[in-house]
A and B are shown apart, each in its own frame.
Chain A
Amino acid sequence: GQNIDQPTEMTATEGAIVQINCTYQTSGFNGLFWYQQHAGEAPTFLSYNVLDGLEEKGRFSSFLSRSKGYSYLLLKELQMKDSASYLCAVRETRGYALNFGKGTSLLVTP
């Protein structure tokens, strides 16, 4: 089984940087994913980490520490359209099931 924790809500200002943390406990880790979900829409893939370290993709970066069971998503140069829910998901080795946290609702203000 898994336990995935993320903050419920965060607020940040347009143009700023925000870090969304995710901690997890799992019996068999096989990768960590971040998805973005706008209200009423399907989740869309942002990033994937399977090894420790930082993965950078434009304004978005994701970090993983497997020994600490910890990841974060870093969003730079925030834009209003970044207001959305950010979902942390852990993939298990058994069957490669993808299990999600409850999501962090990010509000970007002017």
Chain B
Amino acid sequence: EAGVAQSPRYKIIEKRQSVAFWCNPISGHATLYWYQQILGQGPKLLIQFQNNGVVDDSQLPKDRFSAERLKGVDSTLKIQPAKLEDSAVYLCASRPTVNTEAFFGQGTRLTVV
């Protein structure tokens, strides 16, 4: 079974530029999460989708971050404009049903300079 796919693996941008990350969850997984993990800390939930609907985006900085999952499969996370403090690993995870664990992708390491 293929895992959660994310791209790109690494991205370096200047502050105030825009960036987008892509995630393709495991086939059939209805729930998709985006997390931000700053070096030395645990993952922080940014947004959770159930199929193509948003379940929780309470911690998403909506003035600069946006995410979509239009067809209930793959998802994109965008930052516009980026700030230095956005430097982190952005992890995507998915799970099939409620009482199962979430499976994580390898993440995208973003460096804002």
Bound pair (A, B): yes
Q: Which of B41, B42, B102 has the most CB of A within 10 A?
A: B42
**Besides A42-B91, A96-B98, 4 new A-B residue pairs in contact (Cβ under 8 A), listed by A number:** A43-B43, A45-B102, A48-B101, A96-B55
What's the count of A-B pairs with C-beta under 8 Å?
A: 51
Stretch of B13-21, B60-68, B79-87, B103-111 on the interface side = B103-111
Q: Which residues of B contact A (CB under 8 A)?
A: 31, 33, 35, 40-45, 48, 50, 55-56, 91, 93, 98-99, 101-107
**Interface pair B106/A33, CB less than 8 Å apart:** no
Contacts of B99 in A (CB 8 A): 31, 50
Stretch of A12-20, A62-70, A72-80, A98-106 on the interface side = A98-106
Q: What is the CB-to-nearest-CB distance from A1 to chain B, in angstroms, rounded to a whole number?
A: 9
A-B contacts, 30 of them at CB < 8 A, read A4-B42, A31-B99, A33-B101, A33-B102, A41-B106, A42-B91, A42-B106, A42-B107, A43-B43, A43-B91, A45-B102, A50-B99, A87-B42, A89-B42, A94-B56, A95-B55, A95-B56, A96-B31, A96-B55, A97-B33, A97-B48, A97-B55, A97-B56, A98-B45, A98-B93, A98-B102, A99-B45, A100-B35, A100-B42, A100-B43
Give the complex CA separation of A33 and B93 in angstroms. Answer: 14
Give the complex CA separation of A89 and B37 in angstroms. Answer: 14
Contacts of A95 in B (CB 8 A): 48, 50, 55-56
